Amino acid sequence: MEIGTEFLPISKEDLKKQHIEQLDFVYVCGDAYVDHPSFGQAIISRVLQAHGYTVGIIAQPDWKDESSVQILGRPRLAFLVSSGNMDSMVNHYYVSKKRRKEDAYTPGGVSGKRPDHATVVYSNLIRRVYKDIPIIIGGIEASLRRLAHYDYWSDSLKRSILLDSGADLLSYGMGEKSIVEIADALNSGIAVSDITFVNGTVFKTRNPDFIFEKIMLPDFEEMKADKVRYAESFQIQYNNTDPFTGKILIEAYPHQVFVVQNPPQKPLTMQEMDRIYELPYTRKAHPSYDVLGGVPATKEIKFSLVSNRGCFGGCSFCALTFHQGRIVQTRSHASILEEAGLMCQDPDFKGYIHDVGGPTANFRHPSCEKQLSCGVCKNKQCLFPSVCPNMKVSHTDYVELLRKLRKLPGVKKVFIRSGIRFDYLMADTDDTFFDELVRYHISGQLKVAPEHISDNVLRRMGKPQNAVFEAFLKKYAAKNRQFGKEQYVVPYLMSSHPGSTLEDAVRLAEYVRDLGYMPQQVQDFYPTPSTISTVMYYTGIDPRDMSKVYVPKNPHEKAMQRALIQYRNPDHYDLVKEALFKVHREDLIGFGPKCLIPPRKMKSVSRKQSQRKRVESSGEGTKQKKRADQKPSRKDTSQKRNALVAKNRK
């Protein structure tokens, strides 16, 4: 493995330097150009290059200027279009629909450098300039919107993005195999309208009669009129996300238009994964961004290692099933160690590998042997509601990899930050990984995602029962005592998930109280496209069993649920008090050890500040001011308190 020295062309001057008269493909992307395998545009472009095709990059073009997509000329085969590593709407907006002020995928972190619904806007811009050029869309935004989907930001059911973008073909999932098949087909002279045979793609047609072994989904107009039909359609889609058992799905639209989804591409073998990560990436953001402060997203990935992709966790609110799939694919130890060796040679490397993982760090093989021949189970999850008896639970390979990384010259510490699936860890009868995790791989705090403590809510989330997390906390605390460590668990918690009532939120607040931990950040449920949870949010129905689900949609109730998790914050007092009265839990208002808030509203900070100013201006508070200056600030005290109380319940 070698670090490349040459970026792909981004200008006519680059084309001249690299002796390219006409590019085969031009990749238009909503992210800045970062030539690193953590960025989809880099992987797809380098894979095409490895197969003999030339690719140029147009990063973050001005979507109001047609000339911005003409800077590299007309490609010989096609334009490739992606919004970037995130859905552009998630990139732009908080769940409150307020605009984000920063964009980690843009030079200098500046926001507003890509449009809303970037894939659609870029594709339409290209089509206005080049009337007959093939346009192929891909990436996370296209993957999760490939069929009819609920769009949270417009609160409506939207058509397949293939129709709204005007593109000819959609490549979903990770796309390395499908993009090569598409390129070879175009290069051989096959019209893009005839490329209907590639797994991992979606195409449109006016006559689907030539397709055999297909499943007809409910019509788009039918789903718009009846949310139940959309829930039914989604469950069919979910059951056909496996590359071995998935069927061709067809969705009908008005005016005799049909959108056809082929089954997903087959999972990559270890050798194929290795080859992808050994391509000649420069592993840097393009140098033209240096004067703008670089690209913030590169800081976290620069000294991190990807060891796997895919996830059999099956969380309801996660879109990985629709994008990377449930079959875990891994790189070899040799490939990862070689990349780590290069990392150690970087002059900025201080001896700390920030992460070794993927969607779930401690998944290093498919959940059971049959998946690579028979596929994953359609109506059964690997870890939910409990661990499947057929699951292969082992951390042996991961432990060996981490041990090898720790021994590399120049490596001081190897951290695991991409998330540990604690229920899978607890299912392992061998404590070797647990021991070494506690001893070597935690930087003071271990981040895990119980998400909630109400079993009713956890069931809707596809997460294990709270008893599993309780058992994990006790074992984690015992391991820390055993090895003389003082390390904490930082639990990720989610408010307002479908199924979560105000009573559930109060129970979560009580749990946070008993845990002695006040989260500084809480994730309010975000209905992103193509997740089970989003379907529940939109329809009020759990598509897995078609049961009705309570959905907290009222902004005020959502604010109360969120405030309850952070009940110690004085700014949330009114919301917490109102919530407690609503659910008749006035017993939690008082001064006792089990109470969440005092019975009277405390003086506001602004009032205290005004009193202090009056005292100081009168000259009577000099001594008091000196004593106050010697006291730690409220912020410092809060930080110290959180550090002290964040210990796990023994």
The encoded tokens of residue 177 equal 């195999």
* Cβ(220)–Cβ(252) below 8 Å: yes
571 CB-near residues (< 8 Å, 6+ apart):
none
Work out the average pLDDT over 218-240. 97
Q: What b/e readout covers 456-495, taking b as 16+ CB neighbours within 10 angstroms?
A: ebbbbbbbbbbebbeebbebbbebbeeeeeebbbebebbb
Provide the pLDDT confidence category of residue 507 given band limits of 50, 70 and 90. very high
Closest CA to 308 of 413, 415, 418, 383: 418
User: What is the C-alpha to C-alpha distance for residues 588 and 562, in angstroms, rounded to an integer?
Assistant: 17
Rg of the Cα atoms in the chain? 26
Domain residue spans in the chain?
12-197, 303-415, 444-602+635-650
The helix (run of H) or strand (run of E) holding residue 404 is: helix 396-406
C-alpha neighbours within 13 Å on the C-beta side of residue 645? 15
For 338-391, the pLDDT digits (tens) are 999 999 999 999 999 999 999 999 999 999 988 888 889 988 899 999 899 999
User: What is the C-alpha to C-alpha distance for residues 106 and 30, in angstroms, rounded to an integer?
Assistant: 9
Q: CA triplet 231, 234, 239: central angle to 5 degrees? A: 130
Closest CA to 560 of 505, 637, 616: 505
pLDDT of residue 601: 59
pLDDT of residue 629: 43
For 276-335, the pLDDT digits (tens) are 999 999 999 999 999 999 999 999 899 999 999 999 999 999 999 999 999 999 999 999
514 CB-near residues (< 8 Å, 6+ apart):
649
For 596-626, the pLDDT digits (tens) are 999 975 455 444 444 454 444 444 444 343 3
Work out the average pLDDT over 66-89. 98
Q: One fold for both 303-415 and 444-602+635-650?
A: yes
- Find the DSSP H helices in 329-377: 333-344, 371-374
For 579-594, the pLDDT digits (tens) are 999 999 999 999 999 9
**Count of CB atoms situated within 10 Å of the CB of 276:** 20
* Cβ(230)–Cβ(218) below 8 Å: yes
C-alpha distances in Å from residue 529, one per residue of 104, 106, 158, 426, 644? 21, 23, 10, 31, 39
Region of residue 36 (phi > 0: left; psi between -120 and 50: alpha; otherwise: beta) = beta
For 516-533, the pLDDT digits (tens) are 877 877 899 999 999 999
pTM of the model: 0.90
pLDDT of residue 371: 86
* Cβ(326)–Cβ(310) below 8 Å: yes
Fold of 12-197: Rossmann fold (3.40.50)
- Find the DSSP H helices in 214-332: 220-225, 227-238, 270-277, 298-301, 320-323
For 450-472, the pLDDT digits (tens) are 999 999 999 999 999 999 999 99
Provide the pLDDT confidence category of residue 74 given band limits of 50, 70 and 90. very high
**Range of lowest pLDDT (74-78, 184-188, 428-432, 635-639):** 635-639
For 489-498, the pLDDT digits (tens) are 989 999 999 9
DSSP annotation of 541: E
Work out the average pLDDT over 80-85. 97
pLDDT of residue 463: 95
DSSP annotation of 114: S
Is the pLDDT at 96 greater than 70, yes or no? yes
Closest CA to 44 of 192, 181, 179, 184: 179
115 CB-near residues (< 8 Å, 6+ apart):
63, 88, 121, 122
Is the pLDDT at 647 greater than 60, yes or no? no
Q: What is the CATH number of domain 303-415?
A: 3.30.750.210
Is the pLDDT at 627 greater than 90, yes or no? no
| pLDDT more than 70, % of the chain | 92
C-alpha distances in Å from residue 590, one per residue of 285, 596, 597, 598? 55, 7, 6, 4
For 416-438, the pLDDT digits (tens) are 988 899 999 999 999 999 999 99
Q: What is the CATH number of domain 444-602+635-650?
A: 3.30.750.200
| pLDDT more than 90, % of the chain | 85
User: What is the C-alpha to C-alpha distance for residues 240 and 533, in angstroms, rounded to an integer?
Assistant: 18
